[in-house]
């Protein structure tokens, strides 16, 4: 194809895209309403998001009443440290971000991924340089087959693209198809996922002695991430950090 032809095709495609946006404009990731722009978030949407940007408790990413700098730890973590080493979250899970996360998780909308991965890369800026592998929380293969995608793997790949950190999307596997954690208490959640994860035999050599950053969309009580951490430590991971898109910050939002 000549370069002229190439450009003609390109501009024709761009033209079609803007026509499609005009006829069927983007739906906002937050409100679901259609707007005229070609980005999944309008500036107004963006301003409504509650960015944590890696601040808060260094161990669980919970926002703190007062910021004590890098060494800050919340009361709960001071009393009992999480299984993993450190955690970072990009945004708070609230009424505002809920829609965007549901669109990603249940509708498989990928158009917000680049922005979300970018926020995660920013939130994890101090733990990513020391990370050997980004590993997503896995779905059971039956659920993966029926849904067709794993949103945590998409986010891990997105962060990998943004930062050059390596992603090992099949590092962990889910042995049991555990029921959804929604509506369970913290104790029930722990029992639900206990022993549900393992490092794939073919990946053990890479995990041993490495620093892993676990990736998930939402950090709720942390029981799933703790079960994944346990499996990674069993396989010899030297350090396990956590990086999530959103962190539940209020008791009332634990129903997800």
How far are the Cα atoms of 40, 79, 100, 193, 241 from residue 129, in angstroms, in the given order? 29, 29, 28, 30, 12
Specify the residue, 91 or 115, whose C-beta has the smaller distance to Zn ion.
91
Name the H helices within 184-241: 186-193, 204-207, 223-234
Answer yes or no whether residue 59 interacts with Zn ion by CB under 5 A: yes
Q: How far is the CB of 226 from Zn ion (least distance, A)?
A: 13
CB under 5 A: which stretch of 59-67, 108-116, 169-177, 212-220 binds Zn ion?
59-67
- Give strand pairing partners of 174: 197
Specify the residue, 82 or 138, whose C-beta has the smaller distance to Zn ion.
82
How far are the Cα atoms of 17, 29, 38, 116 from residue 21, in angstroms, in the given order? 6, 15, 7, 21
Specify the residue, 137 or 249, whose C-beta has the smaller distance to Zn ion.
249
Answer yes or no whether residue 212 interacts with Zn ion by CB under 5 A: no
Taking residues 117 to 156 in sequence order and writing x for each that binds Zn ion by CB under 5 A, - otherwise, the string is ----------------------------------------
| Binding to Zn ion, residues 73-92 (CB under 5 A) | 74, 77
Q: Which of 49, 60, 89, 90 touches Zn ion by CB under 5 A?
A: 60
How far are the Cα atoms of 39, 139, 159, 176, 192 from residue 180, in angstroms, in the given order? 32, 11, 26, 12, 9
CB atoms under 10 Å from CB of 256, counted, come to 17
Q: What is the spatial distance between Cα 220 and Cα 224, in angstroms, rounded to a whole number?
A: 9
Q: How far is the CB of 82 from Zn ion (least distance, A)?
A: 7
Specify the residue, 79 or 107, whose C-beta has the smaller distance to Zn ion.
79
Answer yes or no whether residue 219 interacts with Zn ion by CB under 5 A: no
Specify the residue, 193 or 242, whose C-beta has the smaller distance to Zn ion.
242
Q: What is the spatial distance between Cα 215 and Cα 218, in angstroms, rounded to a whole number?
A: 9
CB under 5 A: which stretch of 28-36, 54-62, 191-199, 237-245 binds Zn ion?
54-62
Whole-angstrom Cα Rg for the chain: 19
In the complex, which residues of this chain contact Zn ion (CB under 5 A)? Answer: 57, 59-60, 62, 74, 77
């Amino acid at each position: 194809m000549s370069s002229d032809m190439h450009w003609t095709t390109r501009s024709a495609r761009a033209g079609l895209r803007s026509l499609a946006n005009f006829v069927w404009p983007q739906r906002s990731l937050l409100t679901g309403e259609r707007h005229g722009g070609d980005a999944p978030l309008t500036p107004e949407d963006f301003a409504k998001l509650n960015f944590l940007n890696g601040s808060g408790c260094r161990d669980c990413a919970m926002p703190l009443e007062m910021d004590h700098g890098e060494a800050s730890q919340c009361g709960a973590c001071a009393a009992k440290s999480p299984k993993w080493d450190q955690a970072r979250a990009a945004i708070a899970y609230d009424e505002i971000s809920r829609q965007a996360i549901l669109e990603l998780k249940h509708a498989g909308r990928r158009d917000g991924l680049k922005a979300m991965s970018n926020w995660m890369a920013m939130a994890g800026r101090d733990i990513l340089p020391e990370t050997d592998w980004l590993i997503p929380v896995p779905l059971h293969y039956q659920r993966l087959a029926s849904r067709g995608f794993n949103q945590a793997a998409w986010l891990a790949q997105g962060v990998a693209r943004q930062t050059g950190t390596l992603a090992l999307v099949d590092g962990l596997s889910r042995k049991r198809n555990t029921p959804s954690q929604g509506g369970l208490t913290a104790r029930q959640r722990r029992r639900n996922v206990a022993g549900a994860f393992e490092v794939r035999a073919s990946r053990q050599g890479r995990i041993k002695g490495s620093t892993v950053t676990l990736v998930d969309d939402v950090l709720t009580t942390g029981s799933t991430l703790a079960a994944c951490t346990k499996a990674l430590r069993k396989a010899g991971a030297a350090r396990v950090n956590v990086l999530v898109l959103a962190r539940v910050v209020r008791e009332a939002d634990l129903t997800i």
